[in-house]
Amino acid sequence: LQKVSEWTIHRLSTYHRLLSEFESEGREYISSHELAHRAGATPAQVRRDLSCFGTFGTKGRGYFVADLSSMITSILGIDRDWRVALVGAGRLGSALFSYKEFRRRNFHIVAVFDSDKSKIGKHWADVEIEHPDALKAVVSKHQVDIGVIAVPSDTAQSVANAMVDAGIKAILNFAHRKLFVPDGVALRNVNMAMELEALSYAMSRNRRLR
Amino acid sequence: LQKVSEWTIHRLSTYHRLLSEFESEGREYISSHELAHRAGATPAQVRRDLSCFGTFGTKGRGYFVADLSSMITSILGIDRDWRVALVGAGRLGSALFSYKEFRRRNFHIVAVFDSDKSKIGKHWADVEIEHPDALKAVVSKHQVDIGVIAVPSDTAQSVANAMVDAGIKAILNFAHRKLFVPDGVALRNVNMAMELEALSYAMSRNRRLR
DNA sequence: TCATGTGAAACGCTTCACAGCT
DNA sequence: AGCTGTGAAGCGTTTCACATGA
């Protein structure tokens, strides 16, 4: 079993989405060249990415769309439901709660937490907002797999600690702060402010170059 | 002028945030070692990142916090205001509109667009929601620098095209889709579904390894 | 002939290690 | 002595190019 880079995984996500499109277009076979073109990658990269997990193609023909799609589904582990706990019931949390792309991929938010007393007890759809103190109990009761952090930066690390303590093994962090978690806990960050700063840098530089 | 990697830029964002903390703690000097520790990086990496832009440190002492902070501010181009146009006034757009981290960094959303007739004409704070057809006119009127795409995947590329056509040089894309833009236009993606799939992969793999 | 799968080369980022300055 | 700045080594990813098989 070799090491697979996180970029490969991101590209697999992309290939997977494109394969769905090809499937609904009725395409049977797809070449690495065409897949790469639509994915913004190179043919060699597509083949290399896939080769990490086995040999799925037919020489001279390409990849059978339906098979490849279901192989990637299985590799990514999205051939099952995942239960998600959301901490932070502000506007961002609300947007995440109703983000259709999540449910479409079988990620189900089964619990919502917020320390704001005016929010506790309210319902979002059929989920009641609870105090974060209940995290550990709720996580084991609902067998939560993934924790989503949508709280202000200054409390993000303590929320992450509580999630780890509750046995959560995967965290998606929206706070603008680097989080530290033990080995064995998967952590991904979505940092919108950082992306804006990257754009700001690019624009400042372009201006300077002209 | 050398090439600077996008990871260096992301780390500069992180250093910048940490330096603000050190400043408010009253620290005068900071070593690459301590900065790296808080940033989750290595001392050599901190020094290498900074060396792309000049020499800011004092041998034997470290970096003068206030100076380094303002240097990074200037490098990232966040020492000025940026005007942002948001396309997509759904829940995600709404969350972005009121995301405090943006305004704190001087990113100001000065225009909001949505093609939903029931939304057009409504106001968010003092910004009126307009039809995307008005994009080009509004961008040049308000001198918009950055476009944010918060629409469903299937219309994201056409929105990006319209932004490019309107002269926007930097785009932040929240749609779950790879966008293609011409050279000279900076593009950053925030792909929440993709991050969840990366977590799903990590969890599936962990389980398989045991 | 056509497209995959893969050693090997190329490339870019990170880490090492130390000269040089305070 | 302590810490920066940086050439050089190390390492992981991408790209090349071709043997292999349909």
What's the confidence (pLDDT) of residue A2? 76
Which of A101, A106, A199, A206 should one mutate to test binding to chain B, selecting the residue with the greatest count of B CBs within 10 A?
A: A199
Give CA separation, B155 vs A103, B115, B180, B187, B192, in Å. Answer: 20, 11, 13, 17, 18
Does A73 contact B at CB distance below 8 Å? no
8 Å CB contact between B9 and A191:
no
Contacts of A107 in chain B (CB under 8 A): 196, 200
Which of B16, B71, B192 should one mutate to test binding to chain A, selecting the residue with the greatest count of A CBs within 10 A?
A: B192
Question: Are A199 and B180 inside 8 Å of each other by CB?
Answer: no
Average pLDDT for chain B? 96
Instruction: Find the helix packing angle between B65-76 and A192-209, rounded to 10°.
Output: 70
Give the separation between CA B134 and CA A110, rounded to whole angstroms: 40
Give CA separation, B142 vs B110, B159, B184, in Å. Answer: 7, 18, 21
Say if residue B208's pLDDT is above 90. no
pLDDT means over runs of 10, chain A (210 residues): 91 98 96 98 98 96 98 97 97 93 93 98 98 98 98 96 98 96 96 96 83
Nearest Cα to Cα of residue B109 among A176, A196, A98, A92? A196
Question: Are A186 and B198 inside 8 Å of each other by CB?
Answer: yes
User: Which residues, at least 6 apart from B19, have a Cβ–Cβ distance to it below 8 Å?
Assistant: B30, B35, B65, B68, B69, B72
Nucleotides on chain C that have an atom closer than 7 A to a protein CB are: 1-7, 12-17, 20-22
In chain A, positions 71-110 with C-beta closer than 7 Å to nucleic chain C are: none
Residue ranges near strand D (C-beta within 7 Å): A 3, 5, 7-8, 41-42, 44-45, 47-48, 58-61; B 31-33, 43-44, 47-48, 50-51, 55-63
Does A39 contact B at CB distance below 8 Å? yes
What's the confidence (pLDDT) of residue B206? 81
8 Å CB contact between A56 and A63:
yes
B residues 83-122 lying closer than 8 A (beta carbon) to A: 91-92, 94-96, 98-99, 101-102, 105, 107
Q: What is the nearest nucleotide to B8, using C1' and CA?
A: C13
8 Å CB contact between A193 and A152:
no
Alpha carbon of B99: minimum distance to chain A alpha carbons (Å): 8
Percent of chain B with pLDDT over 90: 94
b/e B131-168 (16+ beta carbons within 10 angstroms → b) = ebeebeebbeeeebbbbbbbbebebbbebbebbbebeb
Helices (H) and strands (E) in chain B, counts: 9, 10
Contacts of B198 in chain A (CB under 8 A): 6, 9-10, 13, 186, 188
Tens of pLDDT along B46-68? 999 999 999 999 999 999 999 99
Tens of pLDDT along B72-92? 999 999 999 999 999 999 999
Say if residue B209's pLDDT is above 80. no
Tens of pLDDT along A127-157? 999 999 999 999 999 999 999 999 999 999 9
CA geometry: angle at A139 spanning A137 and A144, to 5°?
165
* Helix residue ranges per DSSP H, chain B: 6-24, 32-39, 43-51, 65-76, 91-97, 100-104, 135-142, 153-165, 192-209
Give CA separation, B159 vs B117, B127, B164, in Å. Answer: 17, 20, 9
Give the separation between CA A135 and CA A120, rounded to whole angstroms: 13
Contacts of A92 in chain B (CB under 8 A): 95, 99
Q: What is the nearest nucleotide to B55, using C1' and CA?
A: D5
Give the separation between CA A50 and CA B144, rounded to whole angstroms: 41
3-state secondary structure at position B109: strand
Nearest Cα to Cα of residue A145 among B209, B207, B191? B207
Say if residue B2's pLDDT is above 80. no
Alpha carbon of A118: minimum distance to chain B alpha carbons (Å): 19
